[in-house]
Amino acid sequence: MTCGLRQAGIEVLAGVDFDIDCKETYEYNNPGSTFVYSDITQLKLDYFEKEFEVTKDDDNLILIGCSPCQYYSIINTKKKKSKKTKNLLLDFSKFIKYYNPGYVLIENVPGIETRKDSVLPRFLSFLKKNGYKYVVMDVIDMSYYGVPQSRKRFSLIASRVRNVSLPQKEEAQSLLKDYISVKNGFPVISAGHKDETDFNHTVAGLNRINLRRLAKTKKDGGTRMGWKDDPELQLDCYIGKDNSFKDVYGRMAWNKPASTITTKFFNISNGRFAHPEQDRAISLREGATLQTFPKSYVFKTKSVAATAKLIGNAVPPEYAKRVGLSIINNTSNGTV
């Protein structure tokens, strides 16, 4: 989110996260923006006032909440473990109450709007009671907003000072072929390739049987149906379940958006994360590019899994930039 908002020309003072692995990457790529390592439920309300001289009632101040979304996600997560993050939106609202910013920006999974036990209705009521009379929200497919993946997210912009709008939807989706092909700067590599440069065109290794599975998976969008009748390759858990988990072990397709880039995109057994042509998963840099990180963005991490976690958990910078420009344009036009 910080990367995209900065691209839009917005000054980002700080970002708060409870994952210390984010710190070096965040500050290296966003000079001037401070990483605050803290649990938001324990952070004192006056912290930004004291540390960054943030003033209350600033019409140009934006507070942004991208709380962990595992509890509301349709992906199979451990709900008991993620339940402690369920109400982070309400913890975030305490900072809105304290600082009374001109703008509030929220990004989360669609489930925060649809689950019956969601805190969103309480949050919307809070915004209304506190003078945020301009509120727009929607579940958007980011493939229509310059992000080449089918990534649906809940977006909300609220303002107490002027009318706001979400970024304009494009008529056509962004497609895989325009981002990660050889002509776009991604050399052909093999499974297990390690790129020691900052470009990080590194890809996880594959065992022999998975290489055989990919060899029998049709290029450009093929699925595990290509080897379902091979007794040596078929997995017991998928026997008789041809219509279930169809993306697992699947290849991406050039003329479609990628599937949602998750924190496990480096592993072909976790979704449709195989390269359209080459017998491998997509590389770390390819995943980052599909998330619209600049190719110059450097990931200061110690493992493939740690890098993929930062990439998969991120708000795509291109969408964040468009949200930032939407806020700026409404402000510049004085729309009320």
Instruction: Decide the pairing of beta strands 134-141 and 152-159.
Output: antiparallel
Please give the Cα distance from 220 to 223 (Å, whole number).
Answer: 10
* pLDDT one digit per residue (tens) for the chain, 336 residues: 999 999 999 999 999 999 999 999 999 999 999 999 999 999 999 999 999 999 999 999 999 999 765 554 555 555 555 566 668 899 999 999 999 999 999 999 898 888 788 899 999 999 999 999 999 999 999 999 999 999 999 999 999 999 999 999 999 999 999 999 999 999 999 999 999 999 999 999 999 999 999 999 999 999 999 999 999 999 988 888 888 888 999 999 999 999 999 999 999 999 999 999 999 999 999 999 999 999 999 999 999 999 999 999 999 999 999 999 999 998 766 543
Structure tokens at 27: 């500050």
Burial code (b: 16+ CB inside 10 Å, e: under 16) for 293-315 equals beeebebbbeebebbbbbbbbbb
Break the chain down into helix, strand, coil percent, rounded to 5: 35, 10, 55
From the candidates 22, 66, 69, 237, give the one annotated as an active-site residue: 69
Nearest residue to 95 (alpha-carbon basis) of 130, 157, 44? 44
Contact 150, 143 (CB under 8 A): yes
Check whether domain 172-314 has CATH 3.90.120.10, yes or no? yes
Task: Please give the C-alpha separations between residue 18 and each of 61, 155, 160, 328, in angstroms, as whole numbers.
Answer: 23, 22, 29, 29
What pLDDT was estimated at residue 78?
55
Amino acid at 203: V
- Our answer to whether residue 66 is catalytic in this structure is no
Q: For tokens 């109450």, what's the residue?
A: 97
Close Cβ partners of 80 (under 8 Å, ≥ 6 residues apart)? none
Q: Is the dihedral of CA 273, 276, 282, 287 positive or negative?
A: negative
CATH fold of 2-171+315-333, please? Rossmann fold (3.40.50)
Q: What is the DSSP letter of 142?
A: G
Q: Residue 17: phi, psi to the nearest 5?
A: -150, 150
> In the chain, where are the structural domains located?
2-171+315-333, 172-314
Nearest residue to 172 (alpha-carbon basis) of 144, 139, 208? 144
Please give the Cα distance from 97 to 118 (Å, whole number).
Answer: 20
What pLDDT was estimated at residue 244?
83
Q: Is 237 exposed, middle or buried (0-12, 13-18, 19+ CB in 10 A)?
A: exposed
Contact 292, 149 (CB under 8 A): no
What pLDDT was estimated at residue 87?
84
Distance of CA 105 to the CA centre of its chain: 15
